[in-house]
């Protein structure tokens, strides 16, 4: 029998309604309801774009609200500028020319927003100039109209932020329960019903992936109606897979090599970290739209915090400049590390990574023994993001003497979790340094991904022992 799922009216919906009501009330109270008699920009002001901004921006976290809000503001500003520019063409943009102009502003709006990596700005960048062109706003009114849309959107974003600050965060309220104490949880025993939502990991190769074990363990422990599969997808076929996943009703998927970069331009909405790293490892499919996230950087920060290490003010020596190094380094910089020195064997790759940091806190260095000793002596956190020491590979550090240059007590992290203790960590621990392996990152990035898929916060501390047990039994 078909089961009806009753949607839950959660805090996010309540926040949206409150923000919209507040926006309307503020504009109405000030008498700003598109009253032409006011003239100038005041005559063009009303609550509509503020309400729309609230609907789009009232997300479950302040960060999401801010990111969406900034994208919206950018979209409106780009759209306003495009519309005004086209109207300046005068008779060229009249009659049949206007049809072409409407198409041209859409192409230009989307293209520009994708160029500046703001896919969430695309819609407004098209809507504003289309409205300007289609409603035939003329003369100075066109500038007032565009400026009014920007002001309304800014007011809406501000109201959305205030509402999000004032009302409780639904990620706290809707936290999925931890398993009851004493209740035995059998990893991987996921109950499959007709309503069960599908998730998977894609990659090439992917059959070695531990993600199904990790995710299904959490799904079973939390009693969620999801199933997580392993899905090989050949290199270059991310777009076909995405269409297929939408058609097959997948709720989302994780991506590993070689798809993380290919997925970026395929997303309808890109989270700030995914845009910054230029890589997507988590895709949520909602209402046919693909929302791309990257949980590696945030997962690493959570793992660091769990080990009692804060990123703020740290001088970091980071070894490696591959995919994992990129996420970790850029996230450390964004989270207030004083500087992050990228020591990489291939200098050009290290330099390219440093150039990506909008805050300019990354700087390149060499990978020779002298370079590593110098950087170790000058850091207060050392992180290995190379594959040196990873199980199943031949690679190993030729010289560990750089560890002796570390100041006493400087923590050493290795992203590798297999083996649980690499030679680097063994030696660091023997010298008295706190040592952290990559298991924390593995767990936290997976927890964050499941949080995105399900829209609920998950108690990572409760999940960690279950995941460790499931991985060691697998």
The two most distant CA atoms of the chain are separated, in Å, by 79
C-alpha–C-alpha distance, residues 472 and 439, integer Å? 12
Is residue 422 near ligand NAP by the rule CB under 6 A? no
Q: At its nearest, how many Å lie between ligand NAP and the CB of residue 355?
A: 15
Between residues 252 and 350, which has the closer beta carbon with respect to ligand NAP? 350
Which CB, 32 or 413, lies closer to ligand NAP? 413
Report phi then psi at 424, rounded to 5.
-60, -50
Q: Which of 417, 427, 435, 448 binds ligand NAP (CB under 6 A)?
A: 417
Q: What are the Cα distances from residue 388, in Å, to 292, 366, 379, 415? A: 30, 16, 20, 10
Give the span between the Cα atoms of 212 and 228, in whole angstroms. Answer: 6
Catalytic-labelled residue, pool 44, 198, 260, 331? 260
Min CB(209)–ligand NAP separation in Å: 11
Spatial separation of the C-alpha atoms in residues 325 and 310, rounded to whole Å: 18
Quick check: 115 and 108 in contact, CB under 8 A? no
Q: Contact letters (x/-) for ligand NAP, 271-290, by CB under 6 A?
A: --------------------
User: Quick check: 203 binds ligand NAP (CB under 6 A)?
Assistant: no
Q: Which of 280, 325, 334, 450 binds ligand NAP (CB under 6 A)?
A: 325
Per 3-state DSSP, the chain is made up of helix, strand and coil in percentages (nearest 5) of 50, 10, 35
Residue nearest to ligand NAP (CB): 322
From 87-95, 202-210, 237-245, 435-443, span contacting ligand NAP (CB under 6 A): 435-443
CA 396 – CA 104 distance, rounded (Å)? 55
In the complex, the smallest distance separating the C-beta of residue 443 from ligand NAP, rounded to whole angstroms, is 8
Span near ligand NAP by CB under 6 A; candidates 41-49, 185-193, 197-205, 338-346 = 338-346
Which of 75, 320, 364, 411 is close enough to bind ligand NAP by CB under 6 A? Answer: 320
Residues in contact with ligand NAP, total (CB under 6 A)? Answer: 24
- List 40, 177, 360, 395, residue binding ligand NAP (CB under 6 A): 395
Spacing of C-alpha 128 from chain mean position = 27
Q: Going by DSSP bridges, is the β-strand pair 250-255/282-286 parallel, antiparallel, or unpaired? A: antiparallel
R_g of the chain computed on alpha carbons: 25
What's the gap between Cα 383 and its chain centre?
22
Give the per-residue contact string, 342-371, with ligand NAP (x = CB under 6 A; - = no): --xxx--x-----------------x----
Peptide bond into 205 cis (omega under 30): yes
DSSP secondary structure letters along 348-393: HHHHHHHHT-TT--EEEE--SHHHHHHHHHT-SEEEE-SSTT-TT-
Contact call for residue 415 and ligand NAP (CB under 6 A) = yes
Least Å distance between CB 413 and ligand NAP? 10
Distance CA 395, CA 41 (A): 65
Binding mask 437-456 for ligand NAP (x = CB under 6 A): -x--xx--x-----------
- Least distance to ligand NAP, CB of residue 325, Å: 5
Task: Report the C-alpha gap between 113 and 115 in whole angstroms.
Answer: 5
Give yes or no for residue 318 binding ligand NAP (CB under 6 A): no
Cα–Cα distance, 12 to 55 (Å, whole number): 10
Of 271 and 296, the one with the shorter C-beta distance to ligand NAP is 296
Two tokens at 181?
């104490």
Does 372 engage in binding with ligand NAP (CB under 6 A)?
A: no
Q: Does 322 bind ligand NAP (CB under 6 A)?
A: yes
Give the torsion through C-alpha atoms of 182, 183, 187, 189, to 10 deg. Answer: 170
The site string for ligand NAP over 209-248 (x = CB under 6 A, - otherwise) reads: ----------------------------------------
- Please give the Cα distance from 276 to 290 (Å, whole number): 18
Catalytic annotation on 193? no
Give the total residue count for the chain. Answer: 474
- Active site members: 260
What residues make contact with ligand NAP under the rule CB under 6 A? 320-325, 344-346, 349, 367, 385-388, 390, 395, 415-417, 438, 441-442, 445
């Amino acid at each position: 029998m078909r089961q009806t799922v009753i949607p839950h009216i959660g805090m996010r919906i309540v926040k949206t309604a409150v923000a919209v009501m507040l926006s309307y009330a503020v504009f109405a109270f000030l008498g700003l309801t598109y009253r032409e008699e006011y003239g100038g920009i005041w005559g063009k002001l009303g609550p509509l774009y503020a309400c729309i901004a609230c609907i789009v921006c009232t997300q479950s976290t302040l960060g999401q609200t801010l990111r969406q809000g900034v994208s919206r503001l950018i979209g409106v500003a780009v759209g306003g500028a495009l519309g005004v520019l086209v109207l300046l063409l005068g008779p060229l943009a009249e009659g049949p020319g206007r049809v072409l102009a409407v198409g041209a502003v859409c192409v230009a709006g989307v293209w520009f927003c994708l160029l500046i990596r703001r896919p969430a700005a695309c819609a407004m960048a098209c809507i504003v100039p289309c409205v300007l062109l289609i409603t035939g706003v003329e003369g100075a009114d066109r500038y007032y109209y565009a400026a009014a849309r920007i002001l309304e959107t800014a007011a809406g974003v501000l109201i959305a932020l205030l509402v999000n600050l004032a009302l409780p965060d639904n990620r706290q309220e809707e936290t999925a329960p931890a398993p009851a104490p004493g209740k035995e949880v059998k990893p991987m025993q996921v109950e499959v019903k007709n309503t069960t939502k599908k998730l998977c990991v894609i990659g090439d190769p992917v059959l070695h992936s531990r993600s199904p074990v990790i995710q299904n363990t959490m799904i079973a422990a939390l009693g969620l109606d999801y199933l997580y599969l392993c899905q090989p997808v050949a290199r270059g076929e991310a777009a076909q897979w995405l269409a297929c996943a939408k058609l097959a009703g997948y709720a989302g998927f994780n991506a590993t090599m070689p798809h993380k970069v290919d997925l970026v331009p395929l997303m309808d909405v890109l989270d700030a970290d995914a845009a910054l790293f230029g890589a997507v490892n988590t895709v949520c499919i909602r209402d046919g739209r693909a929302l791309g996230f990257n949980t590696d950087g945030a997962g690493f920060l959570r793992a660091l915090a769990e080990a009692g290490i804060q990123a703020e003010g740290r001088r970091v020596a980071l070894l490696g400049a591959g995919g994992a190094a990129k996420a970790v380094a850029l996230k450390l910089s964004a989270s207030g590390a004083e500087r992050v020195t990228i020591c990489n064997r291939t200098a050009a790759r290290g330099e390219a990574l440093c150039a990506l940091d909008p805050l300019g806190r990354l700087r390149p260095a060499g990978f020779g023994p002298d370079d590593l000793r110098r950087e170790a002596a000058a850091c207060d956190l050392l992180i290995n993001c190379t594959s040196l020491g990873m199980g199943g590979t031949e690679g190993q550090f030729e010289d560990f003497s750089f560890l002796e240059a570390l100041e006493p007590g400087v923590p050493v992290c290795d992203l590798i979790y297999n083996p649980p203790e690499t030679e680097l960590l063994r030696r660091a621990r023997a010298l008295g340094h706190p040592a952290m392996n990559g298991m924390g990152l593995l767990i936290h990035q997976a927890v964050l991904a499941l949080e995105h898929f399900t829209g609920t916060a998950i108690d990572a501390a409760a999940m960690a022992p279950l995941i460790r047990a499931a991985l060691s039994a697998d």
